Amino acid sequence: MAKREYSYYPGCSSQDGASSSNLKRSIDTMCEVLDVKLNEIPDWNCCSASIGYGSGGVLPRMALSARNIALSEQHNAGQDIVATCAACWLATKEAAERFKEDENFFQEANTALAEANLKMTNQTPIRHMCEVLIEDIGYEALSEGVKKPLEGIKIAGYVGCQTNRPFGIAGESFENPMYLDKMVDSLGAEAIPTYEKKVQCCGGALAFSEPERSQEMIKGIIEAAYDNGADMIATPCPLCQANVEIYQDQINERFGTKFEMPVVYYSQLIDVAYGRSAEDAALDGQIIKAKKLDDIAAK
Amino acid sequence: MSDMNTAMVEKYRNDFLKEVEANVEEGQWVKMCMQCGVCSGSCPLGNAWAHPPQEIFMMIRAGKRDEVLKSDSMWMCTSCYNCIVRCPRELPITHIMHGLATYSKRLGLAPKTQPTSQFSEIFWNNMMKRGRVNELKLGLSLYFKDGFGQGIKNALANQKLGMSMMKAKRMSPAEFFGGHGIKDASGLQKMIKKAEEIELAKLKANT
């Protein structure tokens, strides 16, 4: 039996053939090596992220999260809900908090849920995978399992927005969180704690609707990584990863830059440091290859 | 203008602040703004707002109803939550901006061709069909929102990106023909319909 079990909310972008399917694959490998069992919430739905508000009012949006919470209570009773996507985590946690603060609102959500033959008590903690790593496993244990230290790789830890605000990780600052750097250090790579763009917004969903404005912000995030001598950027957020990686060609065209900066997930770093293959770490999902990680994985 | 807009104007007349407090998500916080400007200074797209949050708060109190609700300002919010964690009085600014956007759209006042407003609607409708987002159709609907010709142009401009995403297995043509979804999509749709009814009934009670 696995040492730890959680109720897993992977989210839309993690599905096969979706933009962060590589995150899910690397998380699956990571959980194998860390002896963590993830029980996917059966029939989970979209959380409507932080862009659904144009058409969805407060109650409809939060009813979406209520459904996931209810399904988790029903099928994965007693297990903390763990999300790997920043927006999924934020939306679910925010809904759970509002249901707790406002009894009427909680009742209304349950009235809506009854239409889908569901009911929630809302007692489940809503957590981010990074919290599991930091609070349940810990940096020391993480470091003990390293088989191939990521020596010689300098990594800019890009925490982004929604993994960090408004909830963030307990004990960490909103303005200068250090946990990603500590993770990087635990794996034998070199962190850049003074990477000044670590919590800069990448534009989020506005990368689609306001591409020019967003790409200007993304440019700054990549530029600062180069200025700090980084070999790659690592992030916990699927939208940060995609936005910062996949538009580099367009940014180069727009601004005359020559960016070719790999952007990976913390889970991919762990997979490789724990001796797993490039494929297990989903490094084949990179648009910009993370060569230094590929090399260590091939050793 | 929608009937509801007319009814709201009729009811609140010269008190836009009261209207916001009663009908906008977290609107009861607006009066607590002390005009320090930290939110506006912290906003990553601050320079793109015709009226940054601090100004929006003051305009609400000054009764500038049309100027606020017809503005495209709130649609510049990237949901980065900088303003929330930095506000000295802990106003849930991000939520208030979302709430103003929702409300303006509901009343039919939001600018019709504002791209984030359009994207938000496309996203919601996409997700509601099968209970999960279909990324391929989401991208295509966005490309083609301004007509077929512009759509082809947009698709061609992003062709290289699409090809690399497919090669990396992070975009799938199979999504065009159905794709991912939940089993109980009809249950979810009924649930959302109920939630909308409850919310609308409350708004109507305020008119």
Q: Do B99 and B132 belong to one domain?
A: no
Partner-chain residue, chosen from A50, A112, A287, that has the shortest CB–CB distance to B168: A287
Spatial strand order of the sheet with A81-83 comes to: A36-40, A4-9, A81-83, A126-128
Give yes or no for a contact between A45 and B132, defined as CB atoms under 8 angstroms apart.
yes
pLDDT for the residue B95: 98
pLDDT for the residue A2: 76
Contact B172 A247 (CB under 8 A): no
Give yes or no for a contact between B103 and B2, defined as CB atoms under 8 angstroms apart.
no
Tell me which residue range forms the domain holding A200: 147-298
Q: Do B59 and B87 belong to one domain?
A: yes
Q: Do B81 and B147 belong to one domain?
A: no
Q: H or E stretch including A94?
A: helix A86-101
- Give the three-state DSSP class for B32: helix
Report yes or no on B203 lying in a domain.
no
Final residue of a structural domain among B58, B83, B110: B110
Q: Do B98 and B177 belong to one domain?
A: no
Contact B195 A117 (CB under 8 A): no
Query: DSSP secondary-structure letter at A40?
Result: E
Q: Do A56 and A168 belong to one domain?
A: no
B:147-176 residues touching chain A, CB 8 A cutoff: 160-161, 164-165, 168-172, 174-175
Partner-chain residue, chosen from B79, B117, B195, that has the shortest CB–CB distance to A204: B79
- Find the residue in B nearest to A106 (Cα): B195
Query: What is the average pLDDT value for chain A, to the nearest integer?
Result: 97
Tell me which residue range forms the domain holding B72: 3-110
- Find the residue in A nearest to B143 (Cα): A208
Final residue of a structural domain among B110, B137, B159: B110
With beta carbons under 8 A apart, name residues in chain B contacting A106.
none
Final residue of a structural domain among A96, A129, A162: A129
Q: How far apart are CA B96 and CA B27, in angstroms?
A: 6
Q: How far apart are CA A232 and CA A219, in angstroms?
A: 14
Report yes or no on B103 lying in a domain.
yes
pLDDT reading at B113 higher than 80: yes
pLDDT for the residue B1: 53
Contact B84 A67 (CB under 8 A): no
Provide the β-strand partners of residue A38: A6
Q: Do B164 and B94 belong to one domain?
A: no
pLDDT for the residue B14: 84
What ipTM was predicted for this assembly? 0.96
Final residue of a structural domain among B72, B94, B110: B110
Report yes or no on B206 lying in a domain.
no
Q: Do A162 and A123 belong to one domain?
A: no
Q: How far apart are CA A81 and CA A126, in angstroms?
A: 5
pLDDT for the residue B2: 84
Domain holding A244: CATH number?
3.40.50.11810
With beta carbons under 8 A apart, name residues in chain A contacting B84.
165-166
C-alpha angle A263-A241-A12 in degrees, rounded to nearest 5: 145
Report yes or no on B154 lying in a domain.
yes
Final residue of a structural domain among A129, A159, A184: A129
Q: Do A151 and A86 belong to one domain?
A: no
Domain holding B93: CATH number?
1.10.1060.10
**Cβ atoms within 10 Å, residue B6:** 12
Distance from CA of B168 to the nearest CA of A (A): 5
E strands along chain A, which residues? 4-9, 36-40, 81-83, 126-128, 154-157, 190-191, 232-235, 263-265
Report yes or no on A138 lying in a domain.
no
Report yes or no on B168 lying in a domain.
yes
Q: What is the pLDDT of residues B5-56, one digit of tens each?
A: 999 999 999 899 999 999 999 999 999 999 999 999 999 999 999 999 999 9
Report yes or no on A266 lying in a domain.
yes
Interface check for B102 against chain A (CB to CB < 8 A): the answer is: yes
Report yes or no on B201 lying in a domain.
no
Q: What is the pLDDT of residues A183-197, one digit of tens each?
A: 999 999 999 999 999
Q: Report the phi/psi class of residue A257: left, alpha or beta, with left for phi > 0 and alpha for psi in -120 to 50.
A: beta
Domain holding A73: CATH number?
1.20.1050.140
- Find the residue in B nearest to A24 (Cα): B170
Q: Do B121 and B81 belong to one domain?
A: no
Q: Do A122 and A173 belong to one domain?
A: no
To test the contact with chain A by mutation, choose from B42, B77, B79, B137 the residue with the greatest count of A C-beta atoms within 10 A, namely B79
Query: DSSP secondary-structure letter at B15?
Result: -
Q: What is the pLDDT of residues A47-77, one digit of tens each?
A: 999 999 999 999 999 999 999 999 999 999 9
A93 Cβ neighbours under 8 A, 6+ residues apart: A126, A167
Partner-chain residue, chosen from A51, A116, A210, that has the shortest CB–CB distance to B187: A116
Verify cis geometry, omega within 30 degrees of 0, for the bond prior to A149.
Answer: no
Q: How far apart are CA B46 and CA B52, in angstroms?
A: 6
pLDDT reading at B179 higher than 90: no
Q: How many domains does chain B have?
A: 2
Q: What is the pLDDT of residues B135-168, one digit of tens each?
A: 999 999 999 999 999 999 999 999 999 999 999 9
Q: How far apart are CA B64 and CA B34, in angstroms?
A: 18
Report yes or no on A190 lying in a domain.
yes
Q: Do B87 and B49 belong to one domain?
A: yes
Q: How far apart are CA A21 and CA A285, in angstroms?
A: 8
Q: What is the pLDDT of residues A196-219, one digit of tens each?
A: 999 999 999 999 999 999 999 999
With beta carbons under 8 A apart, name residues in chain B contacting A48.
123-124, 127
Taking the CA of residue A61 as centre, how many other CA atoms within 13 Å lie in the half-sphere pointing to its CB?
29
pLDDT reading at A1 higher than 70: no
Question: Tokens 């106003």 appear where?
Answer: B91
Q: Do A158 and A293 belong to one domain?
A: yes
With beta carbons under 8 A apart, name residues in chain A contacting B116.
51, 54, 205-206, 209-210
Report yes or no on B148 lying in a domain.
yes
Q: How many domains does chain A have?
A: 2
Chains A–B, number of C-beta pairs less than 8 Å apart: 213
Q: How far apart are CA A97 and CA B104, in angstroms?
A: 26
Mean pLDDT of A111-115: 98
Q: Do A19 and A121 belong to one domain?
A: yes
Q: Do A31 and A79 belong to one domain?
A: yes
Report yes or no on B207 lying in a domain.
no
Q: How far apart are CA B47 and CA B27, in angstroms?
A: 24
- What percentage of chain A carries pLDDT values higher than 70? 100
Q: Do B97 and B168 belong to one domain?
A: no
For residue A3, report the phi and psi dihedrals to the nearest 5 degrees.
-65, -40
Q: What is the pLDDT of residues A132-146, one digit of tens each?
A: 999 999 999 999 999
Interface check for B116 against chain A (CB to CB < 8 A): the answer is: yes
pLDDT reading at A243 higher than 60: yes
Q: Do A89 and A118 belong to one domain?
A: yes
Partner-chain residue, chosen from B180, B192, B194, that has the shortest CB–CB distance to A111: B194
pLDDT reading at B104 higher than 80: yes
Q: Do B120 and B105 belong to one domain?
A: no
pLDDT for the residue A58: 97
Q: Do B26 and B97 belong to one domain?
A: yes
Q: How far apart are CA B166 and CA A16, in angstroms?
A: 12
Q: How far apart are CA B141 and CA B53, in angstroms?
A: 30
Q: What is the pLDDT of residues B180-198, one digit of tens each?
A: 999 999 999 999 999 999 9
Contact B171 A16 (CB under 8 A): no
Q: Do B7 and B104 belong to one domain?
A: yes
Q: Do B20 and B88 belong to one domain?
A: yes
